[in-house]
Structure formats: C-alpha cells, structure tokens
Structure 1
Amino acid sequence: MKKLQKELLFIILLGLFLNTPKIFSQNNNEVLTYNWFDKNLGIESLNFNNGSGHLNFDRTINDHHRYYNTNEFKNGNITYEGQNYYNIDLQYDIFNDQLIVRPYTESYYIQINLIKEKVDSFKIDNEKFVNLKDIPASFKSGYYEEVIVGNSNIALYIKHSKAQEKVIKDYSVFVDYKPHFDYLLLKDNKLTLINNKTEIVKLYPDQKRKINDFFLMNKDLKKTNQVLFMKNLIKYINNF
C-alpha cells in the first residue's frame, strides 16, 4: 500500500511541477499536493489512523478544560513518521500531553490519540511544538512549544501542562484545571531549566541588570501572560 502511495504521490508531484505557474512557491505546491493526496485517497492513506480513540468525560467548571488554548479542534499541520500533513483538525490535550486528530472522512465525533513516539512536530494556533524524546531524565519528555531566537543557535522550549483538581459543587463532583509552565533554554548546545530569575541570571551573569530591569518593567505582563513574558525576556536578553 505504501509503495503504491509513493508512486501516486510521485506522479502528482511531477504533474504539478510541469503545469503549475511559476508564481506559486515550492512550499505552496507541496502543501496543495499533500492536501490533495490525503483527501482523495482517504483516511486509510494516512499512517496515523491506528491510534486509540480519544475520550473525555470531564465535567468542568469555569471553562477550565484540559486542552491547549481551546477545547475546540483547530486547523494545523503535523509531521508524523517523517511525513508532513497539512490542514488537519488537531487538538492538544496538555493534561495527558496527548495530540488528537479528527480524521477528514470520519464522523465528527471520532477523535484519535496519535502515537506520541511517531509524532515529530506539529503546528497549531501558529505555534510550533516539537516532541523532545531524547532529553536528560531530569526534564519532562514530550511536546514542547519551540521558540527559535532570531538566527542564533538559542531556542526556548516551553512545556505546557495542567494540574487536575476535584471540586464538589451542589453535591456534584467537577474537575478544574490549573495551568503550569516549565521553560528550557537551549544555549551552547545545552538544555537548562529557567523557571525563575535566578536560573536565568546564572546563564547570563553579565546581563543581570538588564534582566532585573525587564522584570521590573513587565510585572503586569508576567502576571497576565507568563509565556509571552518569557518569550519577550529571552529575545530581549539576546537583542532580538
């Protein structure tokens, strides 16, 4: 089956190469081709349809769900077993660190947990997440939001997670979720946990004053949007 898929894909790519106007970029052609290939050959052509079904019976309060940003599916891209898929309905369960897909041709209610070991990366809400599989045991493995700092070899990795709490209200049991974030910085080919100012200053001792000034000037942002605060801080320290 995979051999037939590759042959069909080669023919389609060749046709696009010969007939597509030059005004379209190579990246646009690639996206269009993969979209056509996935939709016309059906879900059976995709390699990720053998995951387990995703079920969620949470009774939540205050709209504090287990998912990244929203409990709705969002259009995104994924690299799975080295293969790119575009315009896929994705949802990220950050409580279980589980990426979920809703197949093109299946029922609206069918949701599949992707096999994490086979997921290389995905993009949702214009943010890129990578699967950090081979990292030191002292760090959590799994999906991290990746922020490349300018054109440097420095990258910020953000681990989104949520803690679950049971809440009793009107004689019923509900669940509530509280977000938590861990930050890893890749600098000089080494990953370091930077969850507080002290750890950041250790990495940038000559910029202690600059770091203190940033914390002082951005106290409100740190309270309302910790992730954006950290992204801006790392860019500021590295002059980007």
Structure 2
Amino acid sequence: MRKDIGRLKIKTILFIISFKLKLYCKNLPLKITNYSTLIFILLLLSINSFCQTNVKKDVSNYLDKTIGEEILNINNGKIHIDPYNLKNTNNYYLNKNFVNGSVFYDNQLYENILVKYDIYKDELVKSFENNNTFGITLINEKTDYFLIDDKKFVNIDNKYKYLKAITGFFEEKYLGKNISLYIKHIKTAKETIIETTLYTEFKEYNNYQLLYNSKFTSVNTQKEILAIFPPLKKEIKEFYKKNKIQEETNPYQFKADLIKFIDNNL
C-alpha cells in the first residue's frame, strides 16, 4: 500500500515537473528533445522528500532504463578488445561470458548489469547494450567495488587510502572483528607459436593478504601466518593438521576458515 502511494506521488510530481520544464526549455538557446531524461533526473534528486527507500530504489533502476544506457556514467570507458588466441580453455577472465552483477561506479550503484572481470589486466568490463561480443572497460579509479558470482571485489586503493604495497581489485573474502582476508586473483600469460599462429596460455593463482592493525601482510604460507601470530602457534598448527584434506582440495576456502579461526581466538 505504501509503495502504491509513493508511486502515485511520483506520477503527480512528474506531471508538474514535466509541464514546468517544457515551458522553461522553450526559452533555452539549445533545443532539448528528450524531456524525459531531464525530468527523471530532477525527480530522482527531489525524491527524498516524499518517497520511502524501496520506492527510491525502483525509481533509480527505472531511471537507468528510461534515459538509455548510452548516456549513463558507467558507459564512459574505452572499448574492450579480446586480442588473444587461446591455447586452451583457461582464459584470462573470472568468467569467459558476461554475467549478471552489480557495480558501484562513479559514486552510483548499478544493479543487474552484465559484466566480466579481466583478471590478467585487473579491469572490469561491462557489456555494451547487453551484447556478449562488445564491451566497455570501466575506469578503475571510478570503480569502488563490484559483485559477481557471489564474490565481492573491492578497489583496495579507494577503500584504504593509506600507504600500502598492494594495489588493484581484491576479493573481500572475510571481514572479521580483528582481522580480514583479501584475495588477489592473478593470471600469468605464456605465448607459444604453433604453425605460424601465436597462442596465449593463461595460468591462475591467488595471493592472500591479511589486514591486521591497518597493515596488509602476505599469508600464503603457514610460516607467514605463524610469524604474525606467535601466541597462537600451537592452535594454528593443530588447525592445519585437522584440515589437511581441505587445504589440498579447496585451499581457497581453507584459508578463509583459518583466518576466521584465528580471528575468534584473538
């Protein structure tokens, strides 16, 4: 009921703004033909005074569709080109195809858009007009975070302004009370020539970074972890022994469980 009332108010305000805006635009030196774009922009700016949060979200999403993708900030970037002939199926993306995700870009949240993460270049690519062939490489500095495949990637440079040795997009794997775990997905490239054709082979590995006392430290090995938490040496070694199979079969989840275990014992 409240949502319906909010939408009714939106329609009323929209009619008033539309009428006044058209009268105003007639006196402008530039000819404006797409009144709906300006109307919805003004509407979104003034919506706080009469609409609840869930209605605002609906209007924001509707605005993105109404004004057209071609003028959204998230379409400001360079054309993405796939220049590689792959030797095998292991490409340089987190996913080869565009998948549904969310991006916080240029101080605005964009939901339900098609994106893919270029791990090799550490860049986020957005589908152009929902096309699986053409994409736009977003500007890293304007990308605060994105969500894809139930993973959240944050721009470590934007989130933590202080001096650090790491940079780029990191998966935010575990956020704890005392410590947090970030994972850098990395892909290396190796080129080979087969019958005068150049092929590229990509291999992936992860770099685990621990945030503790406002400092990032590598935690790729047991030795590195023990050096950070000497008082928990016995407990950490015991954790490794009990979870040896998981460490071998699923090191990605093992590391997250280990950091959570340490966090609960600090």
TM-score range, shorter chain: 0.7 to 0.9
Give the drift of 1:137: 5.1
Give the drift of 1:108: 4.2
For structure 2, the 5+ residue unaligned runs are: 1-34
Could you tell me whether the CA contact under 8 Å between 1:35 and 1:87 is conserved in 2? no
The aligned residue for residue 138 of structure 1 is 165
Q: Assess, with a 3 A threshold, how the Cα gap between structure 1 residues 89 and 31 changes in structure 2: closer, same or farther.
A: farther
Length-normalised TM-score, structure 1: 0.83
Work out which of the residue numbers 87, 95, 110 in structure 1 matches 2:112: 87
The aligned residue for residue 198 of structure 2 is 173
Q: Assess, with a 3 A threshold, how the Cα gap between structure 1 residues 218 and 168 changes in structure 2: closer, same or farther.
A: farther
Counterpart CA distance in 1 for 2:50 and 2:140 is: 34
Give the drift of 1:34: 2.8
Counterpart CA distance in 1 for 2:64 and 2:76 is: 16
The code of the aligned residue for 2:42 comes to E
1:43 aligns with 2:78: no
Counterpart CA distance in 2 for 1:228 and 1:32 is: 36
1:57 aligns with 2:83: yes
Bigger RCO (CA 8 Å, 6+ sep)? 1
* Structure of higher CA gyration radius: 2
Task: Tell me the percent identity.
Answer: 35
The aligned residue for residue 21 of structure 1 is none
- Aligned Cα root-mean-square deviation (Å): 2.7
The code of the aligned residue for 1:58 comes to Y
1:45-89: CA deviations, max 9, x gaps? 411222111111322233110011x20111111111111110110
Note the 1:1-240 alignment, pairs <5 A. Answer: 6-10=41-45, 17=52, 26=53, 29=55, 31-68=57-94, 70-103=95-128, 105=129, 107-133=131-157, 134=161, 136=163, 138-139=165-166, 141-150=167-176, 152-169=177-194, 172-239=197-264
Counterpart CA distance in 2 for 1:194 and 1:99 is: 26
Q: Which moved more, 1:77-86 or 1:141-150?
A: 141-150
DSSP-derived class of the 2:70 partner: helix
Could you tell me whether the CA contact under 8 Å between 1:5 and 1:45 is conserved in 2? no
1:104-144: CA deviations, max 9, x gaps? x36443200001111111111111111011454532x1100
Counterpart CA distance in 2 for 1:214 and 1:60 is: 40
Give the drift of 1:228: 1.6
For structure 1, the 5+ residue unaligned runs are: 18-25
Give the drift of 1:31: 4.4
Q: Quick check: which one's helix share is greater?
A: 2
DSSP-derived class of the 1:121 partner: strand
Length-normalised TM-score, structure 2: 0.75
Q: Assess, with a 3 A threshold, how the Cα gap between structure 1 residues 180 and 106 changes in structure 2: closer, same or farther.
A: closer
The code of the aligned residue for 2:238 comes to D
DSSP-derived class of the 2:114 partner: strand
Q: Assess, with a 3 A threshold, how the Cα gap between structure 1 residues 175 and 233 changes in structure 2: closer, same or farther.
A: same
Could you tell me whether the CA contact under 8 Å between 2:114 and 2:130 is conserved in 1? no
Q: Assess, with a 3 A threshold, how the Cα gap between structure 1 residues 15 and 167 changes in structure 2: closer, same or farther.
A: farther
Give the drift of 1:188: 2.0
Counterpart CA distance in 2 for 1:236 and 1:170 is: 52
The code of the aligned residue for 2:149 comes to D
Counterpart CA distance in 1 for 2:163 and 2:251 is: 25
